[in-house]
Amino acid sequence: MAPGGAWLRFFGWPGLLALFVLSADQASKWLVVTQWPVGTMRTVIPGFFNLVHVRNPGAAWGIFAGHTWLLGVLSLVAFVAMVIYFRRLHEGSRLAAMALGAAQGGIVGNLIDRWARQSVVDFLDFHLRGMHWPAFNIADSAICVGVTLLVLWSFIGARRPAPPEE
């Protein structure tokens, strides 16, 4: 492998996907924050989808609310570990590498919110027939899709090479 090959693999398509997710996430949050006060709701598809402006001071579904600094540190540790162990985590799989890129972009997107705003900006609000999903954002979506693909890949696609015989 050429010098810097591992960095090139990380900063190739997975890195571009991470940057795309991060950019889309931060741009959408900037629009929400600058255009709507907290608590705003706009119906897009009646009975199914709204755009809202809510703040989440915790993690998923508001757990660990009030521990933004701890969630920020955990997010930073997870991101750094994913970068350091990137090659080992994806084992040469393009799907796994892209899933890691999506998750990394989402982690950094929410990390920026936690440190800059002391809460995460959520704005996508879905509901159907009395069921209501907590509001979320692009970063949350990228993390969920990335992690789901990694889990599926680990069960059906991961192939670990046998150790070399001596």
Give 24-66 pLDDT, tens digit per residue: 999 999 999 999 999 999 999 999 999 999 998 766 655 555 6
* Assigned token pair, 78: 């997870």
Closest CA to 139 of 118, 154, 123: 123
Domain span including residue 101: 65-158
CB 51 within 8 A of CB 41: yes
Over residues 55-82, the mean pLDDT reads 70
Q: Is residue 122 in a domain?
A: yes
Residue 64: predicted pLDDT: 53
CB 27 within 8 A of CB 108: no
Q: Is residue 93 in a domain?
A: yes
Task: Tell me the C-alpha distance between 135 and 132, whole Å.
Answer: 9
Q: What is the pLDDT of residues 106-153, one digit of tens each?
A: 999 999 998 999 889 999 999 988 898 899 999 999 999 999 998 998
Q: Which residues are catalytic?
A: 122, 140
CB 142 within 8 A of CB 129: no
CB 134 within 8 A of CB 117: no
Residue 1: predicted pLDDT: 43
Over residues 76-97, the mean pLDDT reads 76
Indicate the pLDDT class of residue 67, thresholds 50, 70 and 90. Answer: low
The better pLDDT of the pair 141, 76 is held by 141
Return the amino acid letter for 31.
L
3-state secondary structure of 130: coil
Indicate the pLDDT class of residue 162, thresholds 50, 70 and 90. Answer: very low
Q: Is residue 149 in a domain?
A: yes
In the chain, the number of structural domains is: 1
Residue 75: predicted pLDDT: 75
